[in-house]
A and B are shown apart, each in its own frame.
Chain A
């Protein structure tokens, strides 16, 4: 363990120095540099930055573990968090780039010729980004505490200082180039253990293929895992337990939500031309897909490994990593029947082993007995994933306040210099708020991240798509649609995720049978989005027509020529 600690300090130290070095090199001197990195980022750099921006602590640390416990059902995350990029590339990115402003509320405000629309969009952007960023700061703290044995809160503060440094100094420009570095670090850190383990278990160095190969005993890995799972009373790994309707709804909500997340959309404002926006969306998804197609393989390896090493074995003879991770509370063993064996079964009455899903990625290198530097690499990768996403979100928050609210609503006469100062002050404020939530996490962080996607789907996606593809869409329709969609999503979440109207969290389980159409709160974004579309189109029929100049603007954004650079 000593050795691991030294390696971790060294690797985390090196990566942090890189981030700070980049921040100093790429200071932002104008609002344009601060909001959109000057608009001259290459498609390759933007692809990597988008991938790092997108893949959070949850993608890196939790997703593979989550899938390993969900089996087939884990596909909702895999398809949901990648399929959204197809929508983004085909329906949003090129046109928003042509429109050429700084933020998503900019587009909503101008396309719907209304400051009300702009303010509604700002509120949605803030709600989505704050809920999301709290989880990221917590992730930074957790990684620090596990690998460097510092207090979680100290970890959060260290993370805050680093992000503060490069986000406030460099704005989007600093963030973009640190994200490029962070992508390289996180993908390397994710792939190295995966490849090692794939070779160990199947002899195939490509995890995506290893997952479908035969193990050392000549049986297909998935077949074996299906057998092991049913033996212990779990569902077959390749079958899952969720209903088809719910799988469908959750996947759709995550896809559409991805395409509606402001911190992802805004990345496409940073490239030079429309064709670059299209290309960088493709590259971003390619870079994301490397991790997202490896994660399900890691899930299969880790799950098989765990069952083989632990299930039915004598507690006193388990390997060293088991006791190491017991200390963190991520693994817990309770000998209910006193036979000294680890009974790991589906039935919660008899089950004696508690496994936190995060352990599947964090402890995987130890379980597979990989060298110390690989374990340290996972720590550096987890930090890179959490920091890059946090920084992207903080920028959206600061731009929403300084650009969308101060510059465009309250005080249009503000000079560029003053706006830049305002942007930096809002970034500092946002980091402090995010840090506060990181240290005092609201108990509902995990639930709230799902809410962020639901909100992205229910609010922005329909408004932007209609704004581009339906010239006659007017402001009355779009605003009503956004408000109704978002409120419906909030209501459903409060009712079925928090049990607010039925006596609190304890009631949540019992309410499952009342889910509308059998759709879980995670999947309800799909319904809210459809309601938003319907309400928008309905109201549009009975209200004033869109002004001629707005229709001309829509015609203009449909054609790439003369995209120009992002301007005010």
Chain B
């Protein structure tokens, strides 16, 4: 059996792991961008024509909503990455 093979396999595995990680980052960061810079800043005026409770919607995203989404995003990331680590056997202890 040649010794290079397991090494190459390990490298492939690491690459696949990294690519999945990057895909997760792309998904989460686009949401991060859309709620804050999108809903809270760029499209704020349009959204302000809608109201939830006493809040104009764009204003709500800028001062409340985006922060809630940020917290959720990190916890989703934690879950996804723990699962991914587990699948690849990269989790610690």
Contact = CB atoms under 8 A, between A and B. Distances in A.
Interface of A: 67, 72, 74-75, 78-79, 82-83, 85-86, 89-91, 94, 208-209, 211-214, 220-223, 238, 244, 247-248, 251-252, 255, 273-275, 278-279, 281-282, 285-286, 289, 292-293, 296, 555, 558-563
B41 A251 contact: yes
Contact of B92 (A74, A275, A289): A275
Contact of A248 (B17, B32, B41, B68): B41
A208 B64 contact: yes
Interface string B41-76: 110100010001111100110111011101101110
B91 interface: yes
Contact of B90 (A67, A82, A559): A559
A532 to B, nearest CB: 19
A209 B78 CA distance: 28
Contact of A212 (B41, B42, B55, B71): B55
Contacts of B66: 78-79, 82-83
Given A85-B70, A560-B91, A75 B62 contact: yes
A238 B59 contact: yes
B54 A560 contact: no
A340 B75 CA distance: 56
Most buried by B among A208, A560, A562: A560
A168 B66 CA distance: 39
Contacts of A72: 44, 59, 62-63
Contacts, number: 135
Contact of A285 (B36, B71, B82): B71
11 contacts: A72-B63, A75-B59, A78-B62, A89-B78, A209-B53, A212-B60, A275-B85, A278-B81, A282-B75, A289-B70, A555-B14
A251 B89 CA distance: 38
A273 B36 contact: no
B87 to A, nearest CB: 12
A137 B85 CA distance: 43
Nearest to A299: B63
A293 B55 contact: no
Interface size class of B (residues with CB under 8 A): 35 or more
Nearest to B82: A275
B63 A296 contact: yes
A86 B14 CA distance: 24
Contacts of A208: 64
Contacts of A238: 48, 56, 59
Given A79-B36, A90-B74, A220-B54, 11 more contacts: A75-B59, A82-B66, A83-B32, A83-B70, A89-B74, A90-B25, A211-B54, A244-B42, A251-B36, A285-B70, A289-B68
Closest 10 CB pairs of A and B: A220-B54, A75-B62, A282-B74, A212-B53, A212-B54, A296-B63, A212-B55, A238-B59, A561-B90, A89-B74
Contacts of A213: 53-54
Given A83-B36, A555-B14, A561-B92, A214 B29 contact: no
A125 to B, nearest CB: 25
B50 to A, nearest CB: 13
B55 A278 contact: no
